[in-house]
Structure formats: C-alpha cells, structure tokens
Amino acid sequence: MNTRNTPEKDLIRRIRSAGAGNSRRDSAVRLGIGDDAALFSPRRGYETILTCDWFLEGTHFLRDKHPADSVGWKCLARAVSDIAAMGGEPRCFLLSLGLPETHAGWWLDEFLSGLRRATRKFKCPLAGGDTTRRHEILMNVTVVGEVRSGRALLRSGARPSDIIYVSGRLGEAELGLRRLRSMGQVAKGDSRLRKHLYPEPRISLGRWLSHYGMATSMMDLSDGLSTDLTRLCAASGVGARLEASRIPTASKSQRFGVKNVDALDLALNGGDDYELLFTVRPSKTNRIPRTFQGVALTAVGEITRDQTLKLVRRDGRKLPLHARGWDPFGTT
C-alpha cells in the first residue's frame, strides 16, 4: 500500500476511535465508518429526523479563542439541539471535517476529546463522515434522530391564546462569547463560559413534551428569542405578545465584569442558547412544572391571532418586537 494513502487513513482511524466510546449493543448503527456509507436500522413506529449544521471557523467559532474541545463538543451539541427541538432523541451522526495540516496533531486530539464526551452525553455515536485538507477549519454535522410517528413537535402548531414558554435563562451564551472575546487566556473551567462553550441541548425536556403531548409547537433557540419567535409565528400564521418582565435573563453573577450589558437585549437577541421555545394550550399550563431536571420553564407571553409581534415593557408600554438575532446570511 502506497504511503500517499496513509494520511487520510490515519485521520479516519483517530476519528473512528473518538466515536468508539459508545456501546454498539443498543446502537442503531449496523455499519459505521469504513465503507461507502453507514447503515442505520430504523425502529418500527418511529419517524427519522434529519438535520445538518455548519460549524465554521470565523463564522461560528474563533480558532484562537475557542478551546478545541469546546469546538468538538459544540459542533455536535448544536445539531443535536435540532433533534431535541422536534421532541426526538438523537441516534447517530456524520461528521465532515476540513482541517489544516497544522491542526491534525494536538488540536485534533483535543477536538476529538470534546466530541467524544458529547457523543456519550447525548448517546449519539459517530456513524460516518468525510475528511479533507483545507486551510480553514470547517465542520458540517448531520444528526439522525427518531421520534414516534406523528409525535414530532413542529414550528407550525401554535394557536392563538397558547402560552409561550422558554427553558433556562436566555442570553448567557452571548454573554459568554463577549467575555471570551475580551479575555487574553481562556480558562476553560470558568463557569461563566460554560453556557457558551459547552451548551446542553434539552433532549429530555423535548422528549417529555412530545411524549405527553404537552406542546402545540416547539423549536430551539439558536439565533435569539426575537428572531426564533418570529420564525415560529410565521410558520404558525400567528402573532405573539411577550412580557419583558417575565423573560429569564442572565444572572448578576454571569454579568459580573462584562461592560455595557443590557440583560433583556441579550436575552432577546443573543444567539447560541440552545434552550427550547414552546407553546402550550391554556388548559394544559397547570401540568408544566416550574423546573424540569433543574432547568427553569418560564411562561413569557401569549400567542395572538393578530399576526404581529409585540413586547410589553415593564412600564406597560407595548412596542413592536423586531427580529434582531443572528442571521447567517444577514448584511450585518
């Protein structure tokens, strides 16, 4: 065998070993890395959920600021969050990786270590992928999930008078990004960076809401509440009224030391939260707990027949709510 064939083989071997932490016993992956494609055995009575996400240097993370193990964790976490947002559970994923030669050593090891932790945490083994050499670090992640047929929670199901809920506190990830940008040396263990570096998709919450038919619509908060709620309302053909005073914002300890922070602005327009946004019929709100596995569930407003989005400020004034979150193709 020619040595020219070695680099890709070696890379694939190392990536494969990162996915090997998952037990094959109850895995749906019948054939993994090493053939033309992977084979997956779907469960009877379930639908397959498919999602893919870019994770690109410069656009989604900074090569010199983001620890490599966070890049590994987060590239999977954000795609898994789309599965959680449908009320499903992740089953396996494909990783496409473009890597400079300079990053195929230590950086890749750290990256794979973060990725391995994520595959275990989310019970989502690596099934295949594609690798190529590239000047920039490029990633694309496809996650395959499953949900009981007919049980998926879509963006399009919200109805007038439904109550709007969010999980967790919003804006902490954006705050973490600002903190990261201002730091010289990144302390990975800094708990104020955790929400930004190691987000945890709300898989159990999404499954619970789907299983018990609790929500009429759902999506994950990846681009900011103002932008994502606008999308949910557009898909459902409805409007919404948000109560500013109810929106769970970043805590004081999280905000400490970051300048010019408007917590409400961060909560409305900050990206990368990976919390869930969902709507509940008024008759079912008494069955929504205040916390689910330690994560707060907060009613923040109401769906309206009038197809506009309004924000009710603390002083009672109603203002139009504009989508000011992240647009990957936006002009700013």
Interface with a copy of itself in residues 218-247 (CB under 8 A)? 219-220, 227, 230, 234-235
Residues with Cβ within 8 Å of 199's Cβ and at least 6 positions away in sequence, in order, are 74, 77, 78, 81, 173, 272, 273, 274
Q: Does residue 215 interact with a copy of itself by CB under 8 A?
A: no
Give residues 27-66 in contact with a copy of itself (rule: CB under 8 A). 30-31, 34-42, 44, 46-54, 56, 59
Shortest approach of a copy of itself to residue 256 CB, angstroms?
30
Give me the phi and psi of 61, to 5 degrees please: -155, 165
Instruction: Look at the alpha carbons of 57, 60, 65, 71 in this order and tell me if their dihedral is positive or negative.
Output: negative
Instruction: Look at the alpha carbons of 210, 215, 219, 220 in this order and tell me if their dihedral is positive or negative.
Output: negative
- In the list 76, 85, 126, 261, the residue contacting a copy of itself (rule: CB under 8 A) is 85
CB-nearer residue toward a copy of itself: 113 or 131: 131
Shortest approach of a copy of itself to residue 155 CB, angstroms?
5
User: Segment near a copy of itself (CB under 8 A), from 89-97, 159-167, 177-185, 192-200?
Assistant: 89-97
Give, in degrees to the nearest 5, the angle at Cα 69 between 108 and 3. 10
List 241's β-bridge partners, or say none. Answer: 302, 310
Distances from the Cα of 75 to the Cα of 153, 204, 275, angstroms: 23, 19, 16
User: Segment near a copy of itself (CB under 8 A), from 14-22, 112-120, 123-131, 173-181?
Assistant: 123-131
Give residues 293-332 in contact with a copy of itself (rule: CB under 8 A). 322-324, 327-332
- In the list 33, 71, 75, 86, the residue contacting a copy of itself (rule: CB under 8 A) is 86
Between 185 and 214, how does the x/- string for binding to a copy of itself read (CB under 8 A)?
------------------------------
Calpha distance 304→309 (Å, rounded): 9
CB 123 within 8 A of CB 92: no
Shortest approach of a copy of itself to residue 147 CB, angstroms?
8
List 297's β-bridge partners, or say none. Answer: 167
Shortest approach of a copy of itself to residue 260 CB, angstroms?
21
Shortest approach of a copy of itself to residue 241 CB, angstroms?
16
Between 247 and 266, how does the x/- string for binding to a copy of itself read (CB under 8 A)?
--------------------
Give residues 269-288 in contact with a copy of itself (rule: CB under 8 A). none
Between 128 and 147, how does the x/- string for binding to a copy of itself read (CB under 8 A)?
xxxxxxx---x-x-x-xx-x
Shortest approach of a copy of itself to residue 157 CB, angstroms?
10
Calpha distance 112→20 (Å, rounded): 11
Helices of type H across 169-309: 172-182, 194-197, 203-211, 225-236, 252-255, 263-269
User: Segment near a copy of itself (CB under 8 A), from 17-25, 64-72, 154-162, 192-200?
Assistant: 154-162
Decide the pairing of beta strands 89-99 and 126-133: parallel
Q: Kindly state the helix (H) or strand (E) to which residue 18 belongs, with its residue range.
A: helix 6-19
Number of residues counted as binding a copy of itself (CB under 8 A): 73
